[in-house]
Amino acid sequence: MNAEKKYLGIDVSKNSIYAFLYPTGEEWIVKNEPRELAKWIKMLPEDIELAVMEATGKFEQLVAKQLDMAGISVSIVNPRLIRSFAHFMGISAKTDKIDARVIAMFGNTRKPDPTKLPNEMESSLKELVIRRVQIVDLIKEEKNHLSTSNDKLVQNDVKENIENLKKRLDKIEAQIKTMINENPVWKEKVKILTSIIGVGIITAFSFIATFPELGSISRKEAASFAGLAPMTRQSGDRHGKSFTQGGRKLIRSVLFMAALSAIRYNKIIAEFYQRLIAKGKPKMIAITACMRKLLTILNALARDNTKWNLAKI
């Protein structure tokens, strides 16, 4: 009889991790810093099938990278999937110890696919793209301050800060473009994605940096990753409206802007939008549907490694 496969569930926080190994029940608390993690990983059994952890956006990156370097496959999953699994299992309590055990059980039951971790260049590009968004948001905030201030000194200070932020934005965008142009695969991918009318270079950069799965997943998975998969509220005889939630905020944000542009200038998306409006769909519902359609096209082009041909749509 084959031995049951081992799944390592890891609950990650800023300062530490709590790990649980299924089915042996072994547990560890480790500081979330390079040296301590390295020492702990060396002590782990060699036959771990998969290490599973929730996506936090940042805190899981160090332990995931070190496990991957040690030859242990890693799967970083959406926290909502873990919560849904815990609810299904009837587990309502929530502590680090319980969370790690639930994550390990989720790994054993659902057997999620390993996550392809970014290399150093991919990580650098992602951080630059995220930093660009942060600076854009700072400029918006300062412009809001400028519009509400009546004091001349404050206005001058805000204007000076806006100019400095714009210079930093230009510098970061230049760095992103250089990285893209120096990588033949990324450079070609930008050409493919921007072949769609409505999709600009910033949207393309954002997809390359924060949505590496594009082209290797189904359209339903792509919609789910972007937080655009429709979810329906239904209980007994009560039927609620469908809604979308979760997903990667940056991708959803750039898709929204791309959809607005495509509705104006892309014949296919424009006609699709007008059909929805004619059927009485609310404006935001129609725009979300256009975002989903645009994402489906982007995913198909990335999959086939080909530019958009209007005649084939």
pLDDT digits (tens, 9 = 90+) for 82-92: 998 999 889 98
pLDDT above 70 for 226: yes
Give the model's pLDDT for residue 130.
92
3-class DSSP string for 161-176: HHHHHHHHHHHHHHHH
pLDDT above 60 for 1: no
pLDDT above 80 for 244: no
pLDDT above 60 for 171: yes
Give the model's pLDDT for residue 151.
93
Give the model's pLDDT for residue 85.
94
CB contact set of 237 (below 8 Å; sequence gap of 6+):
none
Give the model's pLDDT for residue 230.
61
Give the model's pLDDT for residue 165.
97
pLDDT mean across residues, the chain = 89
pLDDT above 60 for 137: yes
First to last CA, the chain: 53
Q: Which helix (H) or strand (E) holds 29?
A: strand 26-31
Give the model's pLDDT for residue 231.
47
Give the model's pLDDT for residue 79.
87
Rounded to 5 degrees, φ, ψ at 189 are -65, -35
Q: Is the dihedral of CA 262, 265, 267, 272 positive or negative?
A: positive
Provide mean pLDDT across the span 174-203: 94
pLDDT band at 93 (very low <50, low <70, confident <90, very high): confident
For the chain, percent of residues with pLDDT exceeding 90: 73
pLDDT digits (tens, 9 = 90+) for 20-53: 999 999 999 999 999 999 999 999 998 999 999 9
pLDDT above 70 for 306: yes
pLDDT band at 233 (very low <50, low <70, confident <90, very high): very low
pTM flag (> 0.85): no
Of 248 and 34, more confident: 34
CB contact set of 310 (below 8 Å; sequence gap of 6+):
267, 268
Give the model's pLDDT for residue 225.
83
Give the model's pLDDT for residue 228.
84
pLDDT above 70 for 238: no
pLDDT above 90 for 297: yes
